[in-house]
Structure 1
Amino acid sequence: MIADKDRCPVTLTSHPSPLPAAFNRSFVARPRLVREVLQAMTTALARATSPEHLGRTELVLAELLNNVTQHGRGMGAGPAPFIHLGVVVQPQGLVCSVSDDGGLLPRLCLRAPAPDPQDYPEGGFGWYLIGHLTQSLIYFREGERNYLAFTVPTDAPRPS
């Protein structure tokens, strides 16, 4: 369970038609909290989209949020980053926004080529998966905060 000290009072939001289903959560970047937030999102949006679409979205968000958790503090100094996640169901897909107050995202992450499994036997595939499973991926930093937005399209990507 997410402790009150680990999150803002922002909670699950679900709107009746014609407004889209949405999920919002703010929390401290900790592995256990990432898992709880992703489970809550899956439960909240289960009626609004297919299990396959929700699974792709959960995979993308797990990669992204775990990267913030593992690398957001830079060299490990300072408090864990604070994350805000928003997901809105739209006809074209799940529109996601993530912001955090962790370190600057290296630009090369956004242009990650397909990794060679021999070079990365245990990892290194996260940003490639994120780029492959999303559309309209945009990143910018304003002040001390990172902002990332993208859509996980309703239809699965076709193998290349």
Structure 2
Amino acid sequence: MPINQTVAYVFDGIELKKIFPDNDNRLIIHHNVSEGYHGVVFITGEGHFPVVVPFKSTGGVLEIKSIKLQMIKDKRKGILTGVVYTPVVGGKLREHRGIKRLFSDEEVRIFNNKHLYTVKTDKRGVFTILLPEGEYSITSGSKQAGKIRIKSGRTTIKNIQKGLVLID
């Protein structure tokens, strides 16, 4: 799938920001993630599984020239993806912004009045699950992470915060 047919987002631990390809069909990602901390890029395409790319900031710019998205076989389902993370914010001398930690092997529970689904984050802290269309509640550990709506053929991004690191 060409980059210009995808929808991409960058997550810096605080905000999920949409990014657009340039005229050369590349994603040039200018992010607010402080050096040494993590961010996450989500690349989605209708009817396809997303590609999720956690990165550690070196203070520069990320560039993605090509991407391969896998098609969803069951068009009646949609995808939920995200990360379980601890953000870092603050700083008097210089601002700190980003993800301090991504949690691996973290159980995420997705449920409605009919079904309970569980998925664990991978070693990068990412979870992805294919779900029937509908409305769901999400929990991770003892934390209620909110409600989401899954639409057929679409990707829903829901990141789950676990704690907060404040830098003075």
TM-score under structure 1 length normalisation: 0.33
Normalized per residue, the structure richer in helix is 1
Pick the structure with greater CA Rg. 2
Normalized per residue, the structure richer in strand is 2
